[in-house]
Each structure stands twice: as C-alpha cells, then as structure tokens.
Homo-oligomer: A and B are copies of this chain.
Amino acid sequence: MKKIPVAILGATGSVGQKFIELLSNHPWFEITELAASEKSVGKKYKDATKWVMSNILKDEIGNLEVKNCVPNLKSKLVFSALDSSVAGEIETDFANNGYFVISNSKNHRFDEDVPLLIPEVNPEHLELVKNKNGAIVTNPNCSTIGMVLALKPLHDAFGIETVNVVTMQAVSGGGYPGVPSMDIIDNIIPYISGEEEKMKTEPLKILGKFSNGTIQNAKIKISAQCNRVSVIDGHLENVQIKFSKKPTKEEILNVWKNFKSLPQNLNLPSAPKIPIYYFEENHLPQPRLNRNLENGMAVSVGRLRECEIFDFKFAVLSHNTIRGAAGGTLLIAELMKAQGYFNGIINE
C-alpha cells in the first residue's frame, strides 16, 4: 500500500515534534511536508527547531525545508500543532481549500460543524464531516481526554450526573520552553490558564448525542480544579462521580474491563489493545510507571472507592502529549482513513 503523504503545521513546537516522532515508520502515513511560522520558513527543519524528543531526529525529516502555513501544500492531509494564536484562521483557510485538518489546537473545538473527537468515545461525530471535501476535526484538551475515556463506559452504563475533578498536570502540557524550572522544582502551581474552562465544557460536547446532523450536549455538571506539578509527562486526576443510578464497585470495574470500541475493533495502528487499565494496588496509577502503557495510548485507573459526598471516586492517568495530544490526533486520522474519509485525497 502506498502511504498517504501528510504535512504538519506548527512542526517546530513540542507537539509538532511529537507528531514527527509518532509518524516515524507509521504504516499508513508518511511525512512529506513540514510547515511553521515565518521565521522558520526556508530553513532545514533541523536548523529551525530545537529537538527535545528522546528519539534521534532522522535526516530524512531533519533535512526537509520548512514551508509556509498556507494551503499550497501537496499533502491534502495535515496535522495541526499550531499555536492557538494563529491556528484559527490558518486551519479554516486549509479546510476551505480542500484539506483535511486534524488539529490539536483549541480554536475550532466548539464550531458546530467540527467534531471534537476521541475515537473510542464518539466516533459517530465524524459524520459531521461526511462527504465533505476539506474539513477540520479536533482533538480535545490533554486534561480532558484521559478523564472522558474513563467516563465514557460509565456514562453509557449508569448515566453520569456530576463530575468533580482535580488535576495534577505535567509540565510538557505547557509546551516548550513552557513552564520555567524556577516555578516548578520543589513546587506546585495551582492554576493553568483556561484549563478549568476546557474541562467543564469539552466533555459535554464529546459525550453529546449525534442526531439529525447535530450534537446534543450531554447534561453533566462538572467542576474542575487544575494544578501544575513537577512531572515531565502524564496528567493524574482525582475524579468523583455522581450517577443517575449508583452502580456497585464491581459493576464499574466490569464495565471498564470490558470496554472496547471502534478503534480496537478496526485494529487501528495506534489504538491501544486495552484502552482502560485498572490497577488494584493502592499506590497506582503513577505517571512515571504507567504513562507509557500501550505506547502511551491507554489510560490507567485506580483507587476506585465509594465517596462520602459523591457516589464514587478514583484516580485516572493518561499521557498528555501522546494520548492527550499528538497520539490522540493521529488516532483520529487513522479512524478517518479506515472509514474512507480520505478516499478522495488518495491518489492510487
């Protein structure tokens, strides 16, 4: 099979670098173009970026000449790792010119015709862009994804009314250079700009019902408190839930254990075999020990117990730059490819 050529917008940032890392040796996609801001254009990629990934940058990528973020790229499938200060217009521009933009940026997440997608959670929302010749599909915020993955099977089975969440988020979520070391060594920052708002709005769209061509938001009350901690990768969240109908602990564990979804059924290349791992040990999940499960695409859950205020509480962990960013976005593209969304842009 000939691979589908892809471009990365905002390739020089840390999410852009993670896309490059994950797309290395991908069975379906092949990076052919990298685009970034004015100051990088025309340079070799390796000279335009400070590579901060742990895999060595391959020459075939490092020697690509960085292009402008304008819709004259050859690849019709583009991954966007653009900064939100510029992503809005550029992504629209690409979509209007016949490109499929799979974006990690927040700008279009709440556009009515744009799916906000976690492939295991709401794959049916992709119909919003069915038969379109050019479209934007967005990946949720890194702190939203892990939690909603853990919530999805519970919501389907028992109905979730209220979610209370406190996050302890890794510094890589702030990009590079991002969080200054002086702010986080031996420290915690009890605030992440915009994060709490995202966590209380995004799940409602993601868990919403798709019917008659539109999404009916879920009715769940959510409160989020977001903290930055001294961890490189992996967001850990303490979650409390009130259900419409309170299940037993065993029922919840069963629902998690049996959860599989379309990406697993389609055997997508980046899909975790098991999307949700439950750990019996009290001291798990931990970012450093569990974030890389299934190449960083699984979420880890633990400490499920009854709550004095809500029905249940537990801890959930996911890798914020893989499942929560580049990996999640890539999985969207794989799902779209598997379902034929890109047939029109593949020259075979």
| Binary interface encoding of chain A residues 221-248 relative to chain B, with 1 for a CB under 8 A from any of its CBs, else 0 | 1110101011110001010100000000
Whether the Cβ atoms of B182 and A178 lie closer than 8 Å is yes
Closest to A171 in B: B181
Q: Which residues of B contact A221 (CB under 8 A)?
A: 308-309
Whether the Cβ atoms of A177 and B180 lie closer than 8 Å is yes
Whether the Cβ atoms of A166 and B230 lie closer than 8 Å is no
Q: Which residues of B contact A315 (CB under 8 A)?
A: 190, 225
Task: Please tell me which stretch of A60-68, A71-79, A134-142, A287-295 contacts chain B, meaning at least 4 of its Cβ atoms lie within 8 angstroms of it.
Answer: A287-295
| Binary interface encoding of chain A residues 167-186 relative to chain B, with 1 for a CB under 8 A from any of its CBs, else 0 | 01001100011111111111
Q: Does A107 contact B (CB under 8 A)?
A: no
Q: Which residues of B contact A309 (CB under 8 A)?
A: 162, 164, 221, 223
User: Quick one: copies of this chain in the complex?
Assistant: 4
Closest CB in chain B relative to A151 CB, distance in Å: 15
Whether the Cβ atoms of A240 and B223 lie closer than 8 Å is yes
Closest CB in chain B relative to A171 CB, distance in Å: 4
Closest CB in chain B relative to A241 CB, distance in Å: 11
Q: Which residues of B contact A261 (CB under 8 A)?
A: none
Whether the Cβ atoms of B189 and A283 lie closer than 8 Å is yes
Closest CB in chain B relative to A146 CB, distance in Å: 13
Contact of A188 among B189, B225, B229, B308 (CB under 8 A): B229
A185 in contact with B188 given A223-B310, A225-B238, A229-B230 (CB within 8 Å): no
Q: Which residues of B contact A229 (CB under 8 A)?
A: 168, 188, 229-230
What are the 3 tightest A-B residue pairs by CB atom distance, in nearest-first order?
A: A177-B180, A166-B166, A187-B288
Besides A185-B231, A188-B229, A223-B309, 15 more A-B contacts (Cβ < 8 Å) are A54-B288, A54-B290, A164-B240, A164-B309, A172-B182, A178-B180, A180-B181, A181-B185, A187-B289, A188-B231, A189-B286, A223-B313, A225-B238, A225-B240, A225-B313
The contact sample of 10 A-B pairs, CB cut-off 8 A, is A53-B289, A182-B232, A185-B186, A187-B286, A188-B231, A190-B283, A191-B282, A223-B307, A225-B315, A229-B230
